[in-house]
Amino acid sequence: MFSYGFSFGSARTHSPVPPPAAELPTIRELPDPFQQSDGSRLTTTEQWNHQRAQLQALILGYQYGQIPAERGPVTAVESSSAAHPQLPARISQVRLTCGPAGQFSFSLLVVAPKPAARRFPAIVSYSYGHDTSIWARVVDRGYLLAEFDRNEIAEDRPGGKNALRSYYPQGDGGRLAAWAWGFQIAVDYLLTRPDVAPERIAITGHSRCGKAALLAGAIDQRISLTCPNGSGCGGAGCYRFTPPGTEDLAAILGARPDWFAPHLAEFIGCVARLPFDQHTLKALVAPRALLSTEALGDLWANPEGTQQTYLAARKVFQWLGVGDRIGIHYRQGGHDHNLEDWLALLDYADYIFFSKPTRRHFHHLPFPANHDLIPWSAPHEGVVSTPKRAKHTSKVQL
Ligand code: GCU
């Protein structure tokens, strides 16, 4: 039985320095998320919260770096607020300031449906040029939208400022961690608004912001629905399954090393030593909801590998009795976050938040399932089992 031979502290504490990649075992398939750090497997669903904390510490330690659970007091000052001339919405600019000494601040643009006499489900997103055609659809469906510019939190250029590192200098969080932290601060603020339904907060992001959105959704239990779009490598993609034309670990770290924690570079050329893959990150969202929106022509973002991580993570969701809370949606076309992606998110959100029926397929799989990649299955309640190894033919339910 394989054991990691170590475990991390909780995400709230300092993690010990993780063992170097060279000391970790090679796991060619997607690592078993039901396996605990001592090598035994989970036996009951009550153990999931503890296992999730362990897996989270592993993923932050090796991949993204630390994200402090404390964000200090977050204060909000509205600098402008006006009715939109065409939309039934009020547009406000809110300055959020964070940290004990008010170390840094960034703006949130809030598009709130009118009249504000009730609580709306909310979507936090990155700023994407204020595309009012998307605003119109979001507001029309009765959702509030809050957008922020990631560059105000961590500049998207080598050597650029990273507020997370200034706030938490002893940490090793890269830019993705900082942007994920930005999503969390936006949620801190939304939870204070009288027009936001606290149990109906969704987040979405595209590409690098999709990676950050998935990370934020994985670690923050207040986020009810997480939707990474075209997030690929370091997001909803897969490190171990990279068809030709797909971005892999060496490519992303060659171009963007500071998006990640320094430890990740140890795995270049030996990704099979990673004690997790991105299905593990997706599984952390459970039992809350997760939708990946993908494009079939977006090869760089690994649409096929994203299906593999979906299939593997779904086993955790199903085990927890929430198999319908993980979805995947493919459209034709390339790397973009377009109206079709947004409409898929809104339909899924309506289903998750309001049980509205939808004709859209959130479990349709365009690629063949690679069963060899997922040789394990969910534990049976009360049965202590050991992990199966490669040649198993566990059938993935379609
Ligand atoms: C690059 C990078 C991707 C990233 C994308 C983006 O293509 O390699 O990992 O997702 O930029 O954010 O647009």
Q: For the segment 216-271, what is each residue's pLDDT rounded down to a tens digit?
A: 999 999 999 999 999 999 999 999 999 999 999 999 999 999 999 999 999 999 99
For residue 234, the ligand 1 atom closest to its alpha carbon is: 9
SS3 content of the chain, % helix, strand, coil (to 5): 35, 20, 45
What are the pLDDT digits (tens) for 3-50? 444 444 334 434 557 899 999 999 999 999 999 999 999 999 999 999
Q: What is the Å distance from ligand 1's center to 281 Cα?
A: 19
- Average pLDDT in the 370-391 region? 70
- Under DSSP, the state recorded for 310 is H
CATH of 26-373, one of 3.40.50.1820, 3.40.228.10, 3.30.70.2860, 3.40.120.10: 3.40.50.1820
Phi, psi of 315 (to 5 degrees): -65, -35
- pLDDT exceeding 90 applies to what percent of the chain? 82
Q: What is the Å distance from ligand 1's center to 221 Cα?
A: 27
What are the pLDDT digits (tens) for 96-117? 998 777 778 999 999 999 987 8
Q: What's the residue count for the chain?
A: 398
Count CA atoms within 13 Å of residue 253 on its CB side.
Answer: 17
State the Rg of the chain over Cα: 20
Give the residue, out of 175, 204, 247, 336, with the most ligand 1 atoms within 8 A of its beta carbon, to mutate for a pocket test: 247
User: 280 CB under 6 A from ligand 1?
Assistant: no
Residue nearest to atom 10 of ligand 1 (CA): 207
Q: Extract the tokens encoding 167.
A: 């706030």
What are the pLDDT digits (tens) for 37-79? 999 999 999 999 999 999 999 999 999 999 988 887 899 999 9
User: How many CB atoms sit inside 10 A of residue 272's CB?
Assistant: 17
369 pLDDT band, cuts 50/70/90, is confident
* CB 266, CB 252: distance < 8 Å: no
Residue 199 burial class via C-beta count within 10 angstroms: exposed 0-12, middle 13-18, buried 19 and up: exposed
User: 207 CB under 6 A from ligand 1?
Assistant: yes
User: 329 CB under 6 A from ligand 1?
Assistant: no
Mean pLDDT of the chain: 91
Lookup result for tokens 């593999």? 308
Q: What is the Å distance from ligand 1's center to 320 Cα?
A: 33
**Concatenated DSSP letters for 335-387?**
S---HHHHHHHHHHHHHHHH----SS-SS---S---GGG----PPPTT---PP
Kindly tell me if the per-residue pLDDT of 391 is higher than 50: no
pTM of structure: 0.93
